[in-house]
Structure 1
């Protein structure tokens, strides 16, 4: 009996030690050590740890030049994983810590690109489309000579086309269910669009999704 109690006690101590070791947080590292750790996390495909270690690096090295680099790396890493809200968080952090007249258009371009990459389905994200259109219009007004103008213009055209397609789908729905006034409102929007009366290839949906995506 005593032997079993002692064995259970030893196992408990071992598990507690392992738990403490696993949950041990890094601290008091220099900027280079933090940088290497975050890069290692990303190489291991562990974005959660990379985010945690960024918090440690940011608290210990408020404005270190390596922090500027790691913010862009983390923003891009989250964009690659389609985690666009987290990508925007890091871009906002970059802008607050290191934003200046030389790079502010680049950061705003990346934020627009994050929204553009987040838009994947033609019949969803209407609020995202409209918000992105306004952001692009504002961006082009603020930076008329930016080098990112052609890229942003292409994004705007695709957003405008997506809105046109969505309006066309809604217009067709209202016509089919006999909502004449609503149909006329959306039909007027379509007629005022640059894409009206032009040959457009509609986005195709897989059969298993079209059941739920189409009105």
Structure 2
């Protein structure tokens, strides 16, 4: 997928859900994975011509795994004049060694978001961009349905009252396969997650299940996504309600 096509999808999502306003200072949380790097590059390009002027910074929360090398991401940001902050933490030690959590993902996510939000507020940002794409939206709804017994997924825009930050998700119109295609086309330096729990989660199970359903019923994931947009879920009605 070309950068131009990525920009088209991102701008459509930004416009449909009013994600960016004049003067926004937006932080992109960089895990090192394909999704967050795609989002960073797309928003950086968008900032060059979008009618509402905004600025970007990139932030990585280093969980404390010893084998995480961020040199290529430093270079990528430096080449594009994107300010890049790395927040050092001991989250990995706390979760895996001190607490020995049976469900490490929950505590890790909570601590990581806390460290990320603190860094973003210190940098003077009012918004944070998360790199959730269409597949994430659908998987989250299925996880909620299967394990919580309710129809729910995250919103395109979410205001966090405790921190007074607004979360935006500009990749919601992109499929994961398109993100992968973009990363391969432009040889973007993806950093593999060093987490021992990576790929062994309920989300991974649901991802595989949806993949099987989509192969047997082509387009089913897109139809679920459309149902979410039209289903009066919190935060998803702005676009369809205004058209």
| TM-score (norm: length of structure 1) | 0.25
Q: Point out the structure with max Rg over C-alpha.
A: 1
Greater RCO (CA < 8 Å, at least 6 residues apart): 2
Q: Which has the higher helix share?
A: 1
Q: Which has the higher strand share?
A: 2
